[in-house]
Amino acid sequence: MIFVNLPVTDLDRSTAFYEAVGATKNPRFSDDTASGMVITDAIHVMLLTHDKWRQFTDRQIPDAKISAQVMLCLSHDSRESVDQVVARAGTAGGRIDPNPVQDYGFMYGRSYADPDGHIWEVMWMDAAAAEAGPEAFAAEAAAT
């Protein structure tokens, strides 16, 4: 399992945002300082107030709207699913496509930033192309 911990300025707003893009709040890992958000059985996001965050580290909390420490990427089953998640993020108050859209035919990716500026990449990749590797795709593309 992976637990991604993110500092947030408004816990209620961030919780609602992550629910809008498909996460489920786990009440056992949530209180007035944190929301445990379930993305999948293996991927969880802990949204932490700044005071809660400071209990774990004395490092400065960067402003994710002007600097980036990490970009997170989640795969989806189709291009349509990628577009749907990004659209839901925009409707919920996120910034759509803070990074350029990536469309390589066999791989398609978009991104959104949550209300605090944390960037999430959302991508789809053709399973057969991934199995064959980038060299096979490059050879196929050169032949056409």
pLDDT recorded at residue 69: 83
Which amino acid is residue 10, in one-letter code? D
pLDDT band at 141 (very low <50, low <70, confident <90, very high): low
Q: How far is CA 37 from CA 64, 99, 109, in A?
A: 19, 24, 23
The string of pLDDT tens digits covering residues 43-66 is 999 999 999 999 999 999 999 999
Question: Mean pLDDT across the chain, nearest whole number?
Answer: 93
The string of pLDDT tens digits covering residues 5-38 is 999 999 999 999 999 999 999 999 999 999 999 9
Given a cut of 80, whether residue 139 has pLDDT beyond it is: no
Question: Using CA atoms, how far apart are residues 136 and 140, in angstroms rounded to an integer?
Answer: 6
Residue 99 and residue 122 in contact, taking contact as beta carbons nearer than 8 Å: no
Q: How far is CA 98 from CA 43, 57, 89, in A?
A: 23, 28, 12
